[in-house]
Amino acid sequence: MAKTSTFKQIDAKRLLAAALSAGFETATVVIHPDGRIEVSASIADQQDSRPANTWDEVLRR
């Protein structure tokens, strides 16, 4: 029989806080019964709220 995980809720909170302080928009922690810990984090696409300017393309050249 597999050993049960001793992972606590405070550990999950620390993982989430670390991911958010690292600049990730969202983070998910999955704790599997066999003790594996899976953390997924993503950065949301930031959309520029300013309207496009036709001169921007000209000035980049």
Residue 26 lies in a domain: yes
Residue 58 lies in a domain: no
pLDDT(34) > 60: yes
- DSSP secondary structure letters along 1-61: -PPPP---HHHHHHHHHHHHHTT-SEEEEEE-TTS-EEEEEE-PPPPP-SPP-HHHHHHH-
Residue 30 lies in a domain: yes
Q: Give how many domains the chain has, as a whole number.
A: 1
- Residue range(s) defining the domain that contains residue 32: 1-44
Whose CA is closest to 37, among 3, 12, 10, 2? 12
Residue 19 lies in a domain: yes
Q: What is the pLDDT of residue 58?
A: 76
pLDDT in tens, 14-23: 988 998 898 8
Residue 59 lies in a domain: no
Residue 12 lies in a domain: yes
Residue 61 lies in a domain: no
